[in-house]
Chain A
């Protein structure tokens, strides 16, 4: 067993951390969010073509560094520390992960574009009725000659307003919620028949409702693998969120401790009060468990489906609950100022709250864990 990181991995972390420290201050981030596009495209350009970080999790023969899930974990932790609104999860983890797993000419053509920063992907897996069930899909993909025609409504697609491509789940056959017949497609975001309703999200991103109306796509757009591939990609995304949660939880704890050193009431720093000390000690306990489960689940992403799903669901169920505790405690300890837009902590809390339920709530993952591990 070896839980240490390599020199290359440490270097990746340092490079990203330094870059984000320079670019992602509180005010800079707010400026990006408030801008018409809702982001600074220069940041993504720097992460990809300038710093070369996007190549980390990809195979060497496609221009990558030969890394994988651990590299994504490291990147997401650092992005979490500054609550970055960059589409790493959507583009590199989901898009890159799906393409790497499916392989073939589309992967060979697209992955270099991801690495160079020219291809931005949004993961259109959710539907209005589907909650967290990845097979609850009403969007149809009808075979039409060599290609397909897509029709349907994809819900709350993060990063869709920025995307060059959409990673879409759609049904080639079977009835709603049937596992068979659900497939994954990489679709040019400008294809005729795609319309969007864009909006900001409460955690600082931009997202869209995506409407597909007779969208004709070529047969090569299909990433073979069906629901098994989709679940694998969703599990990779889930672990990326857990890594982001690690960065966020540790930062919320650090900011809270610092605040209680500065803030004085009753003639002393409030950090001297035992009730607050105990709460912050509990925050540390939970934050460390988030880090542990993030690592555990990430290390299991390459294993067979049952082991992988069990580990990922254990991780997300634990992370969701621990993160809620850390976030709520951070706000409570800050008091009123924690509920305002004026201090960073509230913005971390807004993002951490969304992470709790994305790619499945604690309840969803507990249920999946139970189904995989226990016989009634």
Chain B
């Protein structure tokens, strides 16, 4: 066992660091610095740079376009990306449907979809939750009825992140209404431009248009776009959820947030001292750092287990619970730093308007981000559900 990086790892770190410094899109950096909301092109700009370099999907098997990095190299990659404040690439193609397709898909599905995910040509969204099926996902009612070599899909999905930009969606649909809940579900890839699909925005508390409702009315989907067997979609769903939970810990980006908080608190004044010199504030930062270290080493142990061919099993729920709570506490602390300037509601620069936000630039998204980040303990299987998983699957209760 060794905590230190080898010489090869250090060389790799330098290579990564240099690459990011030289290739991160300048326009994207500028928007991040000003706290502006990012649009589709912003997300794609960094995606395309990485795709060209061949680094866009480090975790994928090499045969499908992965990098072949060791788990340590992957860890270094995510550390360095966060350290340089690179945006997190959207997970829907790269870490959700991509692995489902290369694990369960047909050769035709792999050949068609995987390269397009890597290149960024297809933007994916996730059709899982329904108005009546959130934590109880397996109760979903969106119906797919076979009609020759098509399914005809009717129903409604919700919380569909960035569906307004999506070219394709992966959907859980009910193909056998008579089977036991989990056994009548299939996993379909649906072209979002299909007739009968309507996307309606849901505006969240920070004013963002991030999530949507998706209505499906007699949408015809070729049977060839079903992944894995009919009525076995729950296998894909579970596989995806377990993978989602690992990345959801967000250790590297939380580290970056703590560094950012410390840097701001060093210069932000609290009377005749810096805010970081305020013992109350400093204590909270220290506690967060320590909790984050505990999470990080729990994640490293999970990664090591995966490298040895185990899991990710239900222990990944530990990562989800702690990771999400830490992300929330970070936004709480940022809002606290903002003081009075947490209140102004800045909605980004309008067309032709370059008036500076009210108060310090770092403060103007503090409250919206705090509100928005309440989602982390709700999505990806709420933390209540994660505790159920631990109680049932780990503790055997």
Residues of A within 8 A of B (CB): 126, 128-129, 131-133, 136, 155-156, 158, 177, 197, 199-203, 205, 207, 209, 264-266, 270, 273, 275-276, 328, 331-332, 335-336, 338-342, 346, 349-350, 353-354, 357, 361, 363, 366-367
Which secondary structure dominates where chain A touches chain B? Answer: mixed
Question: A156's closest neighbor in chain B, by CB?
Answer: B340
A344 to nearest B CB, angstroms? 12
A133 to nearest B CB, angstroms? 6
Within 8 A of A (CB), among B15-50: none
Given the complex of chains A and B, what is the CA–CA distance between A337 and B216 in angstroms? 21
Query: Which one of B158, B207, B371, B377 has the highest number of Cβ atoms from chain A below 10 Å of its Cβ?
Result: B371
Question: B346's closest neighbor in chain A, by CB?
Answer: A199
- Name 7 extra pairs, CB < 8 A, besides A202-B206, A266-B135, A338-B378: A129-B269, A202-B345, A265-B133, A349-B371, A354-B342, A363-B278, A363-B280
Given the complex of chains A and B, what is the CA–CA distance between A266 and B133 in angstroms? 9
Residues of B within 8 A of A (CB): 129, 132-136, 139, 158-159, 202-207, 211, 269-272, 278, 280-281, 335-336, 339-346, 358-359, 367-368, 370-372, 374-375, 377-379, 382-384, 387
- Chain B residues with Cβ below 8 Å from A270 are 135
Contact status of A332 and B358, CB under 8 A, knowing A155-B340, A156-B343: no
A168 to nearest B CB, angstroms? 15
20 contacts between A and B (CB under 8 A): A128-B341, A128-B359, A129-B269, A131-B339, A131-B340, A156-B343, A177-B271, A177-B272, A202-B343, A265-B133, A265-B139, A266-B136, A332-B377, A339-B204, A339-B371, A340-B205, A342-B202, A349-B205, A350-B205, A357-B336
Which secondary structure dominates where chain B touches chain A? Answer: mixed
- Chain B residues with Cβ below 8 Å from A366 are 280
A119 to nearest B CB, angstroms? 24
Asked if B345 and A156 make an inter-chain contact with CB atoms under 8 angstroms apart, the answer reads no
Residue from B132, B133, B281, B346 within 8 A of A363 (CB atoms): B281
- Chain A residues with Cβ below 8 Å from B344 are 156, 199-202, 207
Contact status of A201 and B205, CB under 8 A, knowing A209-B358, A265-B136: no
Question: B347's closest neighbor in chain A, by CB?
Answer: A200
Residue from B135, B345, B379, B387 within 8 A of A200 (CB atoms): B345
Asked if B378 and A126 make an inter-chain contact with CB atoms under 8 angstroms apart, the answer reads no
- Chain A residues with Cβ below 8 Å from B358 are 156, 197, 199, 209
Asked if A132 and B339 make an inter-chain contact with CB atoms under 8 angstroms apart, the answer reads yes
B368 to nearest A CB, angstroms? 7
Asked if A354 and B271 make an inter-chain contact with CB atoms under 8 angstroms apart, the answer reads no
- Chain A residues with Cβ below 8 Å from B377 are 332
4 closest A-B pairs (Cβ-Cβ)? A265-B136, A363-B280, A156-B340, A201-B343
Asked if B342 and A339 make an inter-chain contact with CB atoms under 8 angstroms apart, the answer reads no
Asked if A275 and B387 make an inter-chain contact with CB atoms under 8 angstroms apart, the answer reads yes
